C-alpha cells in the first residue's frame, strides 16, 4: 500500500503522461467525462459519476476500421492501425470496471475484436473506490463492492491523500514508474474508509432491489408480459441511456465519403433508435415498445442466459440520472415486481 498527497497528484499525472496517454475525469464546460490529460485539463476526481462511462477508452464512440482510397478506378484498402502504445485510465469506479468485464465477454470472445483487444492489452486501469455513493447507485445488487474496486491498481481518496495499491503486474509496473512520488502507507485508513463506504451502500434506496426471477429461464414469460406496454410509453426513443451506459456494446458500421475514398467506421448505436438494425426489408422491431423491451431483456435476460448468469447491468445509475423521461432499469424491475404475475 502506498499513498500520495492530493496536492502531488498533478505531478503524478504529469509523470505518467510523459510516457503514455493518461485518461481521467476532466471537467469540460461543466460536465465531467473521461478525457486525455493535458496540462490545462480541469481534472475532477471528486465527481462520483462521469456523464458517460469510461467505456469509450476501450470502445470509442466512433472509430475507423479501415479506409478505402480511390486512385482513378483503382481502390486500395488501408486498414486502421491497432493501438500500440500503452495508456493509463485513472479513476474508474468498481461499477465501470464491471462494465469493462461485460464488454470483455462480448469483444474478447471468438471472434476476438482486435481493436478492442489491442486497447485492453495496452491499458492499465487505476480504479478508485466510491467515497460517497449516491442514491442512484445500485452496484451492490450485482455483487459489486464499490469500496474495494479491483483493477490493475486500486485507489482510495481519503481526506488529502490518495491511497494506492497495485494489484496486477501492469499495476506494479505503473507503481514502479510512479515510485518517486509514492510513499509507503499502512492499510488502516483504507480499511476504515471501506467500512464507511459499505455502511453507506447499505442505506442506499436501491440496494435492496431484488433481481429474483430475471434469468434466461423466464425468457418467454418476460418477453410476452403486458407490463412492457405500460412501461415504454414515456420513452422518447433517444439514446441517452445507451450512450451513458458502461455495458451497452451495440454499434453500427457505416461509410463516410471523404471525396477521395471512404472511411469505414463503427460507432455506438442504440437499440432505442428507429433505424437500429435497419435492413433492406426494414427493421425487425417496428414499435418503440419492442425496442424498449429489447434493451432491458438484453441486460437482464439474454445476456445472463448467454454468459453464465452475468447481468449486463452494473448498477452505476447513470441511466437513472440521465433519462429525459425519468425511466430506468430500476423502474422496470420494480414494475415487474409489483405486477407480480409473470415472475417474482
Partner 1 sequence: MSIKENEEFRPKIVAFCCNWCSYAGADLAGSSRLGYPADVKIIRVPCSCRVNPMFILRAFEKGADGVIICGCHPGDCHYSTGNYYARRRMTLLFSLLDYVGVEKGRTRVEWVSAAEGVKFSATMNEFVEKIRSLGKNVRLEDLRCRN
Partner 2 sequence: MQRIGVFVCHCGSNIAATVDVKKVVELIKLEPGVVHAEDYQYMCSEAGQEKIAVAIREKGLTGIVVCSCSPRMHEATFRKAAEKAGINPYMVEIANIREQCSWIHKDMEEATKKAVILARAAVAKVNLNAPLKPGESLVTKRALVIGGGIAGIQTALDIADAGYEVDIVEKTPSIGGRMSQLDKTFPTLDCSACILTPKMVDAAAHEKINIYTYSEVEKVSGFVGDFTVDIRKKARYVDMDKCTGCGVCQEKCPSKKAPSEFNRGLNKRSAIYTPFAQAIPNVPVIDADYCVKLKTGKCGLCEKVCQAGAIDYTQKDEIITQKYGAIVVATGFDVIKLDKYDEYAYSQSKDVITSLELERIMNAAGPTKGHLERLSDGKAPKNIVFIQCVGSRCSDNRGKSYCSKICCMYTAKHAMLIRDKYPDVNVTVFYIDVRTPGKNFDEFYRRAVEEYGVNYIKGQVGKVLPQPDGQLLVQGVDLIDNKQIKMEADMVVLAAAIEPESSVRKIATMLTASIDTNNFLTEAHPKLRPVESPTAGVFLSGVCQGPKDIPETVAQAGAAAVKVVGLLAKDKLLTNPCTAKPDELLCNGCSTCANVCPYGAISYEDKLINDHGIRETRRVASVNSALCQGCGACTVACPSGCMDLQGFSNRQIIAEVDAICR
Partner 3 sequence: MQELISRIKALLADKTVDRVLGWKAGDMPYNPEPAYFETEEDLKDFVYDGFCGANLSKYMIEASKLEGKTLVCLKPCDTYSFNQLIKEHRVDREKAYIIGVGCKGKLDIDKIKAQGIKGIKSISGAEIDGAADTLKIDTMYGEKTCSYADAMLERCHVCKGKEHMIYDEIIGESKDTADGNRFDEVAKIEAMSPEEKFAFFQKELSKCIRCNACRNVCPACSCRKCVFDSNKFDSAQKANVVSFEEKMFHIIRAFHVAGRCTDCGECSRVCPQGIPLHLFNRKFIKDINAFYGDYQAGADVDAKAPLTNFTFDDIEPGERG
By CB under 8 A, the residues from 130 to 169 that bind partner 3 are 132-136
By CB under 8 A, the residues from 242 to 301 that bind partner 1 are 256, 258-260, 263
Please answer whether residues 299 and 247 qualify as being in contact, where contact means their C-beta atoms are separated by less than 8 angstroms: yes
By CB under 8 A, the residues from 218 to 247 that bind partner 2 are none
224 or 258: whose CB is closer to partner 2?
A: 258
CB < 8 Å & 24+ apart, contacts of 177-180:
177/15, 177/16, 177/19, 178/4, 178/12, 178/15, 178/16, 180/15
Which residues lie below 8 Å from residue 196, measured CB to CB, with a gap of 6+?
Answer: none
Q: Which of 38, 42, 286, 326 is in the footprint of partner 2 by CB under 8 A?
A: 286
Residue 91: asked if its preceding bond is cis (omega within 30°), the reply is no
Please answer whether residues 251 and 267 qualify as being in contact, where contact means their C-beta atoms are separated by less than 8 angstroms: yes
DSSP state, residue 141:
G
CB of 139 to partner 3, least distance (A): 15
Answer with the entry of partner 3, partner 1, partner 2, none that 322 interacts with (C-beta below 5 to 8 A by kind): partner 3
CB of 74 to partner 2, least distance (A): 9
Closest C-alpha to 143, from 86, 207, 187, 92 = 207
> How far is residue 180 from each of residues 6, 8, 15, 152, 184, measured CA to CA in Å?
15, 11, 10, 19, 11
CB of 276 to partner 3, least distance (A): 10
Q: Which of 29, 81, 188, 282 is in the footprint of partner 2 by CB under 8 A?
A: 282
Window contacting partner 2 (CB under 8 A); options: 29-37, 97-105, 225-233, 252-260: 252-260
Contacts to partner 2 by CB under 8 A: 72-73, 257-260, 282-283, 286
Contacts to partner 1 by CB under 8 A: 256, 258-260, 263
Amino acid at each position: 500500500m502506498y499513498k500520495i498527497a492530493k496536492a502531488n497528484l498533478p505531478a503524478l499525472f504529469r509523470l505518467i503522461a510523459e510516457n503514455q496517454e493518461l485518461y481521467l475525469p476532466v471537467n469540460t464546460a461543466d460536465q465531467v467525462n473521461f478525457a486525455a490529460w493535458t496540462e490545462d485539463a480541469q481534472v475532477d476526481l471528486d465527481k462520483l459519476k462521469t456523464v458517460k462511462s469510461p467505456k469509450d477508452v476501450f470502445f470509442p464512440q466512433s472509430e475507423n476500421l479501415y479506409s478505402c482510397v480511390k486512385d482513378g478506378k483503382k481502390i486500395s484498402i488501408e486498414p486502421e492501425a491497432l493501438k500500440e502504445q500503452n495508456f493509463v485510465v485513472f479513476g474508474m469506479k468498481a461499477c465501470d470496471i464491471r462494465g469493462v468485464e461485460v464488454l470483455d465477454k462480448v469483444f474478447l470472445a471468438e471472434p476476438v475484436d482486435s481493436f478492442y483487444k489491442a486497447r485492453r492489452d495496452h491499458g492499465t486501469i487505476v480504479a478508485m473506490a466510491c467515497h460517497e455513493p449516491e442514491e442512484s447507485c445500485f452496484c451492490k445488487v450485482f455483487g459489486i463492492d464499490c469500496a474495494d474496486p479491483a483493477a490493475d491498481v486500486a485507489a482510495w481518496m481519503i481526506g488529502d491523500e490518495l491511497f494506492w495499491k497495485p494489484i496486477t503486474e501492469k499495476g506494479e509496473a505503473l507503481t514502479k514508474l510512479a515510485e518517486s512520488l509514492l510513499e509507503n502507507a499502512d492499510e488502516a485508513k483504507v480499511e476504515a474508509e471501506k467500512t464507511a463506504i459499505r455502511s453507506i451502500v447499505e442505506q442506499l434506496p436501491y440496494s435492496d432491489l431484488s433481481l429474483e426471477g430475471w434469468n434466461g429461464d423466464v425468457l418467454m414469460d418476460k418477453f410476452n408480459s403486458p407490463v412492457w406496454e405500460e412501461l415504454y410509453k414515456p420513452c422518447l426513443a433517444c439514446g441517452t441511456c445507451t450512450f451513458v451506459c458502461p455495458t451497452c456494446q451495440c454499434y453500427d458500421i457505416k461509410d463516410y465519403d471523404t471525396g477521395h475514398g471512404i472511411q469505414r467506421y463503427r460507432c455506438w448505436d442504440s437499440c432505442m433508435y428507429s433505424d437500429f438494425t435497419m435492413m433492406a426489408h426494414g427493421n425487425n422491431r417496428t414499435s418503440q415498445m419492442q425496442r424498449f423491451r429489447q434493451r432491458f431483456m438484453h441486460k437482464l435476460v439474454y445476456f445472463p442466459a448467454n454468459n453464465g448468469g452475468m447481468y449486463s447491468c452494473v448498477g452505476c445509475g447513470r441511466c437513472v440520472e440521465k433519462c429525459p423521461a425519468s425511466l430506468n432499469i430500476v423502474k422496470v424491475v420494480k414494475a415487474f415486481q409489483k405486477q407480480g404475475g409473470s415472475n417474482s
